[in-house]
Structure 1
Amino acid sequence: MGDLLLQRLAQARAAATQRQPTSRLLCACLREAILDGTLPAHTRLPPTRDLASELGVSRNTVLYAYDQLAAEGCLVSRTGSGSFVADLSADRFIATPPAVGAPVPPPEPVALPSGVSARGEALLGRVSATDVQWGAFLPGLPDVTEFPQQRFAQITAQCARRGPPALRSYATAGGHPVLQRSLAQYLRQVRSVQCEPEQILITEGVHQAVDLLSRMLADAGDIAWVEDPGYWGTRNILRMNGLQVDAIAVDADGMQVVEPAPGRVPKLAFVTPSHQYPLGPIMALSRRLALLEAARRHGFWVVEDDYDSEFRFAGQPIPSLQGLMPDAPVIYVGTFSKTLYPGLRTAYMVLPPALVDRIGAAQMELYRGGHLLTQAALAEFIDSGHYAAHIRRMRLIYGQRRARLVELVTQALGSEWLHPFDSNAGLHLVMAVPEPLRDTVVAQRAREAGVLVRPLSRYFESPAVQQGLLLGFAAVPIEGMDAPFGRLQRCMEPLRR
């Protein structure tokens, strides 16, 4: 046995791509010999001292190998009798590894369960998330390089030093109370949201908020209104939870509020009233009032996605829909993804008092939230004025970048290439694409040239799509815009001809 193991040890050392402890190599060699039948079941292994002497290694090396294999179930130790190879005949699911240095045979066909579910297939047929999340002109990205990371790290370290151990446990009560208090004060002052701290529920991004609301406030087969065009992520989450999506057209005044058809009364209506995504119009006051009146009359909830209202570059901020009237049937959703950075994965909902306990309990049961230390740091970041200062600074920077991109489009292509609904706000603009161009083709060619734009047509649910491109300007410095815009323009030239 010693000669066999010496040979296998030598082969293992030669095959190893990096230096490994002898104890691990010996363990691997013994395991291989057991699995390939060289050491049959019930074989008694040599005492550790004897094997160590044969191999010229320390006894501790052999002890480690025996203990590890016993823990894995490959060996059985009998007091006073030694170590024996376990009977693995019932464990046929354990794959037999090839001999060290031997060619790896092709895997044999294995009967696997059938593919993903029908709704999974439907989701995959509508996937729009890109596998690249940084670059010009990818929409939806703030300039994360401008975030005061050092200051935020200092605040986080301070919270960690003085905070209780519970900061590293699961979240309860909808999130950290200090962040709930900070957000309530901020939202009342800046967004005219009517809320108390206990109404705020912290979520891991807007997607989790939409998922939770669609699970708790609607059943499979129920109707949900979404804007058309609108955010594809919301539609996909709703469909995965079994809801039927009714796409409501958007014009220059926002979502066109309609009377529900018989049997098509929604349970939820998702809107972006302060800056419609992706086209950009502001929902007119008459439309807002009509939507709230329809929600009261038919008994459905309005979910207000206020994703980037902080970045408005002309005029005053648009007040929230939630704060338009007392006891509005509105659930307000906000996020730090645009104001700070997406990787923070922190968003929040303002729930009506009647829903607070139940939605909060469901969140704990389904998601087991955490990140309380980050939430404590965010609260301090807000209370100390750093958050407001960062937004003021970025509003100025983004406004300048937007103006430069508008200038590039109008100078190179003409003002008619800017979508008529566009408002002076947000982190992207929509460039209209005239016939005979197809935005999906342009976007693919641009990606191949290293420019990341999104085709507007992918945001439509109805067949009446518009052709256009979403160009994110927030993460592209002014001095870095000309080159990628030039590549985008060159991508379109052959198609225009």
Structure 2
Amino acid sequence: MPEVHLAEFLSLTLVRDGTTPLARQLYEALRELILAGDLAAGAKLPATRTLAGETRLSRNTVLSAYAQLQCEGYVLCTTGSGTFVSDTVPALLEAGAPRADTQGMQGGAGEPTILSARGGDIVGNAQASSQQWGAFVPGVPDVSLFPHAIWARLYRRQWRSPAPELLTYAHGAGHPPLRRVLAHHLRLSRSVRCEPRQVVITGGVHQSISLAAWLLGDSGQAAWVENPSYWGATTMLKACGIRTVPVDVDEQGLAPTPAQMREPPQFIFVSPSHQYPLGTVMSLARRRMLLEYAHQHRIWIIEDDYDSEFRFDGRPVPSLQGLDSHDRVIYLGTFSKTLYPGLRLGYMVLPPQIEAHFANGLSELYREGRLLDQAVLADFLKEGHYATHIRRMRTLYNRRQSLLREVIFGFLGPQWPVSTHEAGLHLVLHLPDGVDDVGIMHAARAGGISVKALSRYYAGGSGKRGLLLGYAGVPEAQIRPGFGMLMRYMEPALSEAGRQHGMRTEMDATSDHGKLAG
């Protein structure tokens, strides 16, 4: 832009209402001209005295704007020669270097995607639901019955005179009093073999899995995951560069084939005490086989013990970690199921040889905090409130599960296949082959009923059909009408599957007395 036109342009651009300093306006106007290429590299700017006179600005105003441009590298000032626009165009683009190829990277409506291949896979296959409360959201406890008055009292006590260490960044494995009381609790309730130094407090199971994957695995190494399995575990492992290998689950738990056994993985991810989502319990023979296999091949077993506190028949099943005599099991737990998910606190129990590495890795990767919450939780456990809450909720969830089973059998008949009833926060309502459980899930969600399709938990979505029904957060009075609403979306799908396969479903046989009346 020739100098004569620059002065005219600036005279029209500057606003002299006192709102924005004129030096700032002049600096921004010149900067935009440089970035847009209207003032090319090497162009000489007018002398400060000249520009001040042509724009009716003070010379100090022009000097201030030029000084800021020089400070940020937009212009070069040479004594005796003047002020020149510097070369701000990246060398590669100036030389005509090829730009990134966006072919084959199209997003919706023909727009190029901004995600990496890994990011696209994670987002494109996301299973986290936007609905996290109501009938029949699986995996969520009844947060309305959390003893908030007790929790608030313990919080106020901590806040009266909080130690500075509780208000700054966390470093290491977590609040020591919480680790001590948690180790004691796990030894008694889950037969976990541990000392407080082996306990690491994390931000939940997802963070625990990612920490293990980052510190113990390299990109491209394999992890066996149950098929079907918890989608979050697969997502986190993949995000850390770990290749997941689906291994089918039978009535005894994880059942690797001989071919799979010949290729030992780096990790084995299992939920042996209450398999997610099917609910089966891994047999003792299968547990011992996995432990011996892991010992022989130096494999890390990641045990997800996500809801073991809620077992309704007999004593809780002991942990796999408690049987491990070779220190190959990493035990994961969470307070999301026992207290409330928004607390975002979980824990790991680590073999002694890696405990210090994980404490350092947690601080390095995640810059943890939440120490005040950890201190309150330590008091909550130590004073017996946690055990009291668990006993109360175990009785409540058992009653709600029994009621949901009665309602299901009332609608569909007493022989309709439903998962075992020993434990947990959800049950699986199995459906005949060919039924579109994903379609039922979407239709029900649009109607305000939240369920999960069992087939989506299988690798490739090609497994058995069914619906995961969470009962923990559903008041008894809402279970029957809620399932009645769900039946409105199930009936068409069941009837269609029956016609296509030429079969008479159990629901057909019971429709005369169960259809939507329950």
TM-score by length of 1: 0.78
CA contact (8 A) 2:192 2:321 kept: yes
Q: Distance in 2 between matches of 1:28 and 1:396?
A: 69
Q: 1:462 offset after TM fit, Å?
A: 6.0
> Residue 501 of structure 2 aligns with which residue?
none
> Residue 178 of structure 2 aligns with which residue?
179
Percent of matched pairs sharing the same residue? 44
Equivalences for 1:63-462 in 2 at 5 Å?
Answer: 116-259=115-258, 261=260, 264-419=263-418, 421-461=419-459
Relative to structure 1, the CA distance from residue 457 to residue 31 in structure 2 (aligned partners, 3 Å threshold; closer, same or farther) is same
Q: 1:449 offset after TM fit, Å?
A: 0.9
Between the two proteins, the alignment pairs up a number of residues equal to 451
Larger deviation: 464-473 or 435-444? 435-444
Amino acid at match of 1:185: H
Q: Distance in 1 between matches of 2:156 and 2:413?
A: 51
1:199-240 CA deviation, whole Å, 9 max, x = no partner? Answer: 011111100111111111121221111111111111121122
Relative to structure 1, the CA distance from residue 88 to residue 149 in structure 2 (aligned partners, 3 Å threshold; closer, same or farther) is farther
CA contact (8 A) 1:212 1:363 kept: yes
Relative to structure 1, the CA distance from residue 267 to residue 88 in structure 2 (aligned partners, 3 Å threshold; closer, same or farther) is same
Larger deviation: 472-481 or 118-127? 118-127
CA contact (8 A) 1:223 1:264 kept: no
Q: Distance in 1 between matches of 2:219 and 2:31?
A: 52
The SS at the match of 1:469 is strand
1:405-437 CA deviation, whole Å, 9 max, x = no partner? Answer: 111101101233333x42321000000112442
Q: What root-mean-square deviation, in Å, do the aligned CA atoms of Structure 1 and Structure 2 show?
A: 3.9
1:324-347 CA deviation, whole Å, 9 max, x = no partner? Answer: 243442111000000001111110
CA contact (8 A) 2:437 2:453 kept: yes
CA contact (8 A) 2:228 2:458 kept: yes
Q: 1:303 offset after TM fit, Å?
A: 0.8
Q: 1:34 offset after TM fit, Å?
A: 9.7
CA contact (8 A) 2:455 2:461 kept: no
Relative to structure 1, the CA distance from residue 300 to residue 33 in structure 2 (aligned partners, 3 Å threshold; closer, same or farther) is closer
Amino acid at match of 1:466: K
Q: 1:259 offset after TM fit, Å?
A: 4.5
Q: Distance in 2 between matches of 1:314 and 1:397?
A: 14
The SS at the match of 2:286 is helix
1:1-48 CA deviation, whole Å, 9 max, x = no partner? Answer: xxxx9xx99xxxxxxxxxxxx899xx99998999799xxx9999xxxx
Q: Distance in 1 between matches of 2:314 and 2:256?
A: 26
- Once superposed, which parts of structure 1, at least 4 consecutive aligned residues long, lie more than 4 Å away? 27-37, 41-44, 87-92, 111-115, 257-260
1:100-147 CA deviation, whole Å, 9 max, x = no partner? Answer: xxxxxxxxxxx9995622222222332111122222111111111111
1:35-63 CA deviation, whole Å, 9 max, x = no partner? Answer: 799xxx9999xxxxxxxxxxxxxxxxxxx
The SS at the match of 1:266 is coil
CA contact (8 A) 1:257 1:291 kept: no
> Residue 14 of structure 1 aligns with which residue?
none
CA contact (8 A) 2:434 2:465 kept: no
Q: Distance in 1 between matches of 2:229 and 2:328?
A: 21
Q: Distance in 1 between matches of 2:425 and 2:137?
A: 10
Amino acid at match of 2:453: P
CA contact (8 A) 1:313 1:425 kept: yes
Q: Distance in 1 between matches of 2:413 and 2:29?
A: 71
| Counterpart among 475, 488, 493 of residue 491 in structure 2 | 493
1:225-260 CA deviation, whole Å, 9 max, x = no partner? Answer: 111111111112112222222211112221125546
Q: Which runs of 5+ in 2 are unaligned?
A: 1-10, 35-43, 48-64, 73-84, 91-98, 106-114, 496-518
CA contact (8 A) 2:455 2:462 kept: no
The SS at the match of 1:295 is helix
The SS at the match of 2:144 is helix
Q: Distance in 2 between matches of 1:138 and 1:437?
A: 21
Q: Distance in 1 between matches of 2:335 and 2:138?
A: 16
Q: Distance in 1 between matches of 2:364 and 2:324?
A: 32
Relative to structure 1, the CA distance from residue 361 to residue 492 in structure 2 (aligned partners, 3 Å threshold; closer, same or farther) is same
Q: Distance in 2 between matches of 1:209 and 1:129?
A: 18
Q: 1:299 offset after TM fit, Å?
A: 1.4
Q: Which runs of 5+ in 1 are unaligned?
A: 10-21, 45-65, 74-86, 93-110
Relative to structure 1, the CA distance from residue 377 to residue 186 in structure 2 (aligned partners, 3 Å threshold; closer, same or farther) is same
